[in-house]
Amino acid sequence: MTTIQRIWRLRNRLIRLSGTKCQDCGLVTYPPKAACPKCGSRNLIEIELPREGEVLTYTVLNVPIKGFEQYAPLIIAIIKLGEAKVLAQLTDVKPEEVRVGMKVQATIRRTAPTLDGVVPYVVKFKPVRGEEASLKEREAEALTA
Amino acid sequence: MRDVFIVGVGLTEVGKRVDVALRDLAAEAVVKAMEDAGNEKPEAIVVGNMLSSLVEQENLAALIADHTGLRGVSGFKAEGACGSGGAALLAGYSLVSSGLFDKVLVVGIEKLHERPTPDTARGLAYAADADYELIYGISFAGLNALVMRYYMDKHNVTREEMAHWAVMMHENAYHNPYAQLRKKITLETVINSPVIADPVRLFDSCPLSDGAAAIMLVSEKYRKLNDTPVKVAGIGNALDSPDLSSRFELDRFIAAKLSTERALRMANVSINDVDVAEIHDAYSIVAAISIEEIGFAERGKAPKLWAEGRFRPGDKPVLNPSGGLKARGHPVGATGVYQVAEIAMQLRGDFPGLKVGGEVGLAQNIGGVGSNVTTVVLRR
Ligand SMILES: [Zn+2]
């Protein structure tokens, strides 16, 4: 189980989605690092990542780790956000609707309580509404065709 | 650096070992390894272990040394998640090759069946990034599933091709008296097994295992302790990010490639010289990427090759004649020590399961999802 200290330390990153950008080679990294994974430079700045991206890969966990049982089936994806990749939970979507390449956007949601019983908020990703709507339109078209 | 030789190995049966305490399980392997090495005592022990905190026990080197009549020797525990056995071997090798000691016993031990499975599963996920991955509730199987889907999509690998690996591992383990899962299975068994973390199914995954293994490493001066000493010709380790998000490529384990290159260069052998290997197949996807990074297959091609019948006894190389993590089992911190002991026995000719022989063998042990990899090259 996580602690309130961890959530407090990560509060900006978990809400604002910040990564690090190397001022020497340009590599953008998430999670943020103290030095660039590519060139080793410590000349990094913290940047906010885009809040919209697409699913690169995903999994559906019937058995999440202890403490997250309430979220089963838990959908976790790795999402391409600009130049970075972010691992996060998908929400507002059924497991069978998730697709690789699906457009998703960041949203702030509650997650499992900490050891101290605090309910923290983190970034999760939900399908981009436009896409959902256009999907419904396409379905409707298919039905009337 | 001085040459290092293996003169003693000891293994316990892998499985659900609630019948014995951690110290007694370790002692079973330690005593066998010392007996194999002419009853010689080591000057130091290095213990590979990931999760002994599950049994509320740390300070394992002291516990195991004291319990096995080695009170007073030097020692410590080495940790590298599921690659802890490899980390312990790297430390043990360094202690002997540096000249600090002439005889070092490397012990791998893990007991995963003491606590309810949810506790153990959460503990295994500690190999990942606690701040940025665990915070979403993803399990270790889930992390491997993310890589599996990406790999299968990118390289057009079918479900059936992936499933052949588990079938082959169960066939090999059938002959291994130390193996946890000694029953043959079919493709249907794998394809119809329950989904754990889509697309990972139960039979894509290794079982939860208890087990202990020990290896006596010595300098040239003591190589005669065994009639058939096996030389540790090369050893290499490399690290990658514990998190998947910041990986440059999601279908690669760069640390596996680097550690293989380091071990082969040190041993001065080519990958084509390897007759037999034990690789870290915690999930079938880990086997596929490992085979490619080690250099036994081109990228994206490993599942096609094993589905066509490659890597079985009679081929070069033969992979995982023990049954691998999939079917021998995966007593996490002990696995790397099992693999090297098994390869040593293959080269000596006294492995009690499938015997494939050979001159050059390789063992590859991974911690995390490819984030801490040790590769060892052995030579008869
Ligand atoms: Zn850089």
pLDDT greater than 70 at residue A144: no
| Sign (positive or negative) of CA dihedral B243, B246, B248, B251 | positive
Name the domain count of chain A. Answer: 1
Write the CB contacts of B253 (distance below 8 Å, at least 6 apart in sequence).
Answer: B240, B286, B289, B290, B293, B366, B369, B370, B373
- CATH, residue B59: 3.40.47.10
The answer to whether the Cβ–Cβ distance between A64 and B246 falls below 8 Å is: no
CA Rg value for chain A = 17
pLDDT greater than 70 at residue A137: no
Query: For chain B, which residues score pLDDT lower than 50?
Result: none
What integer best gives the mean pLDDT of chain A? 90
Neighbours of B144 (CB within 10 A): 25
Which stretches within B174-253 are classed as H helix? 187-191
| B118, B153, B195 member nearest A66 (Cβ) | B118
- What residues make up the domain containing A38? 4-144
- C-alpha span between B307 and B167 (Å, rounded): 10
Judge if B248 and B111 occupy the same domain. Answer: no
Helices (H) and strands (E) in chain A, counts: 3, 8
Judge if B95 and B169 occupy the same domain. Answer: no
Which stretches within chain B are classed as H helix? 22-36, 60-67, 84-97, 117-124, 140-155, 159-173, 187-191, 254-267, 284-294, 302-307, 324-327, 332-348
Name the domain count of chain B. Answer: 2
Judge if B197 and B54 occupy the same domain. Answer: no
Going by pLDDT thresholds of 50, 70 and 90, the confidence category of residue A145 is very low
Judge if B64 and B82 occupy the same domain. Answer: yes
Task: For residue B301, give both structure tokens.
Answer: 């091609």
User: What's the DSSP call for residue B48?
Assistant: E
Q: Which residues of B are catalytic?
A: 82, 330
Judge if B291 and B248 occupy the same domain. Answer: yes
Judge if B258 and B287 occupy the same domain. Answer: yes
Neighbours of B314 (CB within 10 A): 7
Beta pairing class for B276-278 and B360-367? parallel
pLDDT greater than 80 at residue A138: no
Task: Pick B210 or A114 by higher pLDDT.
Answer: B210
- Amino acid at position B58, single letter: E
Reported pTM: 0.96
Contacts of A87 in chain B (CB under 8 A): 132-133, 136, 138, 146, 243-245
Residue A13, pLDDT score = 81
Domain membership flag for residue B48: yes
- What residues make up the domain containing B349? 139-206+233-379
Going by pLDDT thresholds of 50, 70 and 90, the confidence category of residue A134 is low
Residue A114, pLDDT score = 87
Q: How far is the CA of B299 from the centre of ligand 1 (A)?
A: 26
Contacts of B130 in chain A (CB under 8 A): 2, 6
Residue B232, pLDDT score = 98
Chain A residue with minimum CA distance to B132: A31
pLDDT greater than 90 at residue A139: no
Percentage of chain A beyond pLDDT 90 is: 73
Going by pLDDT thresholds of 50, 70 and 90, the confidence category of residue A136 is low
CA distance B97 to chain A (A): 31
Average pLDDT over residues A34-44: 98
Contacts of B197 in chain A (CB under 8 A): 59-63
Q: Is ipTM over 0.90?
A: yes
